[in-house]
Amino acid sequence: MIRVLFVCLGNICRSPMAEAIMRDLIEKEHLHDKILVDSAATSSWHIGEPPHSGTKDKLWEYSISTEGMQSRQLQKHDFEQYDYMIGMDENNIRNMYTMLGQSNSPKIFRLLDLTDHRKDVPDPYYTGDFQETYNLVLEGCQALLEKIKREKKL
Protein backbone atom coordinates (compact mmCIF):
# COMPACT_ATOMS: atom_id res chain seq x y z
CA MET A 1 0.00 0.00 0.00
CA ILE A 2 1.33 3.43 -0.99
CA ARG A 3 0.64 6.02 1.71
CA VAL A 4 0.27 9.77 1.09
CA LEU A 5 -0.03 12.46 3.77
CA PHE A 6 -1.00 16.07 3.02
CA VAL A 7 -0.02 18.67 5.63
CA CYS A 8 -1.00 22.28 6.28
CA LEU A 9 -1.15 24.58 9.30
CA GLY A 10 -4.56 23.70 10.77
CA ASN A 11 -5.76 20.69 8.75
CA ILE A 12 -9.15 22.28 8.13
CA CYS A 13 -8.72 23.96 4.72
CA ARG A 14 -5.89 23.04 2.35
CA SER A 15 -4.73 19.58 3.45
CA PRO A 16 -8.23 18.12 3.87
CA MET A 17 -9.10 19.60 0.48
CA ALA A 18 -6.05 17.85 -0.98
CA GLU A 19 -6.94 14.61 0.82
CA ALA A 20 -10.51 14.65 -0.53
CA ILE A 21 -9.46 15.59 -4.08
CA MET A 22 -6.73 12.94 -4.13
CA ARG A 23 -9.14 10.29 -2.86
CA ASP A 24 -11.56 11.26 -5.62
CA LEU A 25 -8.85 11.04 -8.30
CA ILE A 26 -7.65 7.69 -6.95
CA GLU A 27 -11.20 6.32 -6.94
CA LYS A 28 -11.78 7.44 -10.53
CA GLU A 29 -8.58 5.63 -11.59
CA HIS A 30 -9.55 2.51 -9.60
CA LEU A 31 -6.40 2.72 -7.47
CA HIS A 32 -8.13 2.85 -4.06
CA ASP A 33 -6.72 -0.58 -3.20
CA LYS A 34 -3.16 0.64 -3.86
CA ILE A 35 -3.01 4.20 -2.47
CA LEU A 36 -4.07 5.41 1.00
CA VAL A 37 -4.46 9.15 1.66
CA ASP A 38 -4.64 11.15 4.91
CA SER A 39 -3.98 14.69 6.10
CA ALA A 40 -2.60 16.40 9.20
CA ALA A 41 -1.75 19.76 10.75
CA THR A 42 1.48 21.24 12.00
CA SER A 43 -0.50 23.10 14.70
CA SER A 44 -2.82 21.75 17.38
CA TRP A 45 -5.41 24.51 16.94
CA HIS A 46 -8.21 22.50 15.33
CA ILE A 47 -7.65 18.89 16.45
CA GLY A 48 -10.84 16.86 16.11
CA GLU A 49 -12.64 19.49 14.01
CA PRO A 50 -14.17 18.75 10.60
CA PRO A 51 -12.96 20.59 7.50
CA HIS A 52 -13.75 24.32 7.29
CA SER A 53 -17.20 25.09 5.88
CA GLY A 54 -15.58 26.86 2.90
CA THR A 55 -13.61 23.71 2.09
CA LYS A 56 -16.68 21.50 2.46
CA ASP A 57 -18.82 23.84 0.34
CA LYS A 58 -16.22 24.04 -2.44
CA LEU A 59 -15.74 20.28 -2.55
CA TRP A 60 -19.51 19.77 -2.49
CA GLU A 61 -19.72 21.81 -5.71
CA TYR A 62 -17.58 19.12 -7.36
CA SER A 63 -19.39 16.20 -5.67
CA ILE A 64 -16.34 15.37 -3.52
CA SER A 65 -17.02 14.08 -0.02
CA THR A 66 -15.33 15.10 3.24
CA GLU A 67 -17.39 12.67 5.31
CA GLY A 68 -15.61 11.38 8.39
CA MET A 69 -12.66 13.74 8.04
CA GLN A 70 -11.35 15.51 11.12
CA SER A 71 -8.22 17.45 11.93
CA ARG A 72 -5.26 15.76 13.56
CA GLN A 73 -1.74 16.90 14.32
CA LEU A 74 1.32 15.55 12.56
CA GLN A 75 3.21 13.00 14.69
CA LYS A 76 6.85 11.96 14.56
CA HIS A 77 5.90 8.35 13.72
CA ASP A 78 4.10 9.58 10.57
CA PHE A 79 7.49 9.79 8.87
CA GLU A 80 7.87 6.01 9.00
CA GLN A 81 4.28 5.36 7.91
CA TYR A 82 4.02 7.55 4.79
CA ASP A 83 5.79 7.32 1.43
CA TYR A 84 4.89 10.86 0.32
CA MET A 85 4.48 13.77 2.76
CA ILE A 86 3.27 16.89 1.01
CA GLY A 87 3.19 20.35 2.56
CA MET A 88 1.06 23.15 1.20
CA ASP A 89 3.63 25.91 1.77
CA GLU A 90 7.24 26.54 2.76
CA ASN A 91 6.32 27.10 6.42
CA ASN A 92 4.62 23.69 6.48
CA ILE A 93 7.76 22.09 5.04
CA ARG A 94 10.03 23.73 7.63
CA ASN A 95 7.65 22.72 10.44
CA MET A 96 7.43 19.16 9.09
CA TYR A 97 11.23 18.80 9.07
CA THR A 98 11.35 20.03 12.67
CA MET A 99 8.41 17.98 13.96
CA LEU A 100 9.53 14.81 12.20
CA GLY A 101 13.19 15.21 13.13
CA GLN A 102 14.16 15.07 9.47
CA SER A 103 15.94 17.44 7.15
CA ASN A 104 15.71 17.46 3.38
CA SER A 105 14.06 14.05 3.02
CA PRO A 106 12.97 13.45 -0.59
CA LYS A 107 9.63 12.10 0.65
CA ILE A 108 8.77 15.59 2.02
CA PHE A 109 7.98 18.24 -0.58
CA ARG A 110 5.65 21.13 -1.42
CA LEU A 111 2.59 20.21 -3.51
CA LEU A 112 2.97 22.89 -6.17
CA ASP A 113 6.62 22.00 -6.74
CA LEU A 114 5.15 19.27 -8.95
CA THR A 115 3.55 21.90 -11.20
CA ASP A 116 4.66 24.88 -13.26
CA HIS A 117 3.51 27.20 -10.44
CA ARG A 118 6.23 26.20 -7.95
CA LYS A 119 4.75 28.34 -5.18
CA ASP A 120 2.79 28.00 -1.95
CA VAL A 121 -0.88 27.01 -1.99
CA PRO A 122 -2.60 30.11 -0.57
CA ASP A 123 -4.49 29.49 2.67
CA PRO A 124 -8.19 30.24 2.04
CA TYR A 125 -8.71 30.57 5.80
CA TYR A 126 -7.01 33.95 5.35
CA THR A 127 -7.64 34.75 1.66
CA GLY A 128 -11.27 33.58 1.54
CA ASP A 129 -10.63 32.32 -2.02
CA PHE A 130 -11.52 28.64 -1.84
CA GLN A 131 -11.84 28.43 -5.64
CA GLU A 132 -8.22 29.45 -6.23
CA THR A 133 -7.08 26.95 -3.61
CA TYR A 134 -9.25 24.23 -5.17
CA ASN A 135 -7.83 24.88 -8.65
CA LEU A 136 -4.22 24.78 -7.44
CA VAL A 137 -4.73 21.74 -5.20
CA LEU A 138 -6.47 19.86 -8.03
CA GLU A 139 -3.55 20.57 -10.38
CA GLY A 140 -1.05 19.53 -7.71
CA CYS A 141 -2.93 16.33 -6.89
CA GLN A 142 -3.15 15.39 -10.55
CA ALA A 143 0.61 15.88 -10.88
CA LEU A 144 1.22 13.90 -7.67
CA LEU A 145 -0.90 11.00 -8.87
CA GLU A 146 1.04 10.91 -12.14
CA LYS A 147 4.31 10.94 -10.16
CA ILE A 148 3.13 8.04 -7.98
CA LYS A 149 1.92 6.03 -10.96
CA ARG A 150 5.24 6.57 -12.72
CA GLU A 151 7.45 5.85 -9.68
CA LYS A 152 5.43 2.87 -8.40
CA LYS A 153 4.64 1.56 -11.89
CA LEU A 154 0.86 1.59 -11.40
- pLDDT for 104: 87
What strands, in cross-sheet order, belong to the sheet with 35-41?
35-41, 2-8, 84-87, 108-110
pTM above 0.85, yes or no: yes
13 labelled catalytic: no
Q: Which residues pair with 85 in a beta bridge?
A: 5, 108
Please tell me which residue in 14, 24, 110, 120 is annotated as part of the active site. 14
Phi, psi values for residue 112, rounded to 5°: -75, -5
Using CA atoms of 85, 88, 93, 95 in order, give the dihedral in degrees to the nearest 10: -100
Please tell me which residue in 24, 38, 78, 123 is annotated as part of the active site. 123
Every domain of the chain and the residues it spans: 2-75+83-151
- pLDDT for 103: 86
Mode of pairing for the β-strands spanning 84-87 and 108-110: parallel
Please tell me which residue in 8, 78, 89, 110 is annotated as part of the active site. 8
- Looking at domain 2-75+83-151, its CATH superfamily turns out to be Response regulator (3.40.50.2300)
* Low-confidence spans in the chain with pLDDT less than 70: none
